[in-house]
């Protein structure tokens, strides 16, 4: 714990700001039911009521409290994005490490499949799959994780290719160690820093991707609160000079900036670069 606080004190202001933003969002997501005066789907007033004492940020197009919807949107959007990113890394990371470690026809076959998938526009392909398979949350997570795993595969394979030819990996092969041992004990530990940094960036991309799908109507479905759909549902207020639709958009942007600040600092630390004062 002392080492963590020492590292935190030595971090630049941007990394501290990013970590504060992430902690703030996590607290809101975890304690959403305690921090909100209403439930996620409760209609508490008239449509588009203005900001005031009763409703801090007014109400939405159905008369639901915007503050409550924003808080629950953090839980839903961030939670689904995190699970999706974990699944994408599990799929793409395993196959990328296997391809780099085995090489040969296994590497060629997996890489060609990934090349074909990456040649397809992600948003259009996701819209097509969700239209066919449905828009339930499990389907949404699987489809996005499947598409995003191709990016993880390319990075994991590229990083592991440099590690798989090193002497300590060859020694493990000569000792007769199995594939799971070589990947888990020899290759993966040396690949962790870039993969951890990529996890932060992938989370941002998945987070924005889910919000974009929700804005288009094929992401997280109503009445579940989601920042992307909240922008769409209240966009008409922009015509009257009301900034309410910008609140969920600002929440999306703030989290993206915070995560990128932390990832940038982490890359500097793992690369051995000195932070400019």
> The CATH number of the domain where 246 resides is what?
1.10.3720.10
Tokens encoding 6: 């020492």
Residue for token pair 């489809």: 143
> Is residue 3 a part of any domain in this protein?
no
In whole angstroms, what is the distance from residue 68 CA to residue 59 CA? 10
Task: Say if residue 90's pLDDT is above 90.
Answer: yes
Quote the pTM value: 0.87
> Is residue 277 a part of any domain in this protein?
no
> Is residue 8 a part of any domain in this protein?
no
Residue 89 has a pLDDT of: 93
pLDDT-derived band at 267, boundaries 50, 70, 90: confident
Task: Say if residue 124's pLDDT is above 80.
Answer: yes
> Is residue 235 a part of any domain in this protein?
yes
**Domains: count for the chain:** 1
Residue 273 has a pLDDT of: 47
> Is residue 69 a part of any domain in this protein?
yes
Residue for token pair 């097509």: 128
> Is residue 1 a part of any domain in this protein?
no
> Is residue 33 a part of any domain in this protein?
yes
What percent of the residues of the chain are helix, what percent strand, and what percent coil, each to the nearest 5?
75, 0, 25
> Is residue 9 a part of any domain in this protein?
no
Residue 48, domain extent: 15-271
Task: Say if residue 7's pLDDT is above 70.
Answer: no
DSSP code, position 40? T
């Amino acid at each position: 714990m002392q080492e963590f606080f020492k590292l935190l004190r030595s971090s630049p202001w941007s990394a501290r700001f990013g970590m504060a933003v992430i902690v703030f969002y996590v607290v809101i997501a975890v304690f959403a039911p305690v921090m909100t005066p209403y439930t996620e789907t409760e209609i508490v007033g008239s449509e588009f009521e203005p900001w005031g004492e009763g409703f801090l940020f007014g109400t939405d197009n159905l008369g639901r409290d915007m503050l409550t919807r924003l808080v629950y949107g953090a839980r839903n959007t961030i939670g689904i994005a995190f699970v999706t990113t974990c699944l994408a890394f599990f799929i793409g990371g395993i196959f990328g490490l296997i391809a780099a470690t085995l090489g040969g026809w296994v590497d060629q076959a997996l890489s060609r499949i990934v090349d074909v998938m990456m040649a397809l526009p992600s948003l259009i392909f996701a819209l097509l799959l969700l239209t066919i398979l449905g828009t339930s949350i499990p389907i949404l997570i699987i489809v996005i994780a499947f598409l995003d795993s191709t990016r993880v595969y390319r990075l994991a394979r590229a990083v592991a290719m440099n590690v798989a030819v090193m002497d300590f990996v060859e020694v493990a092969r000569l000792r007769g160690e199995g594939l799971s041992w070589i990947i888990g004990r020899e290759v993966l530990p040396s690949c962790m820093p870039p993969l951890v940094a990529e996890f932060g960036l992938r989370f941002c991309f998945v987070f924005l991707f889910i919000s974009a799908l929700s804005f288009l109507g094929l992401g997280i479905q109503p009445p579940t609160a989601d920042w992307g759909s909240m922008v769409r549902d209240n966009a008409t207020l922009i015509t009257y000079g009301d900034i309410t639709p910008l609140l969920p958009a600002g929440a999306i942007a703030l989290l993206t900036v915070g995560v990128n600040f932390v990832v940038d600092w982490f890359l500097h630390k793992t690369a051995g670069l000195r932070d400019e004062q």
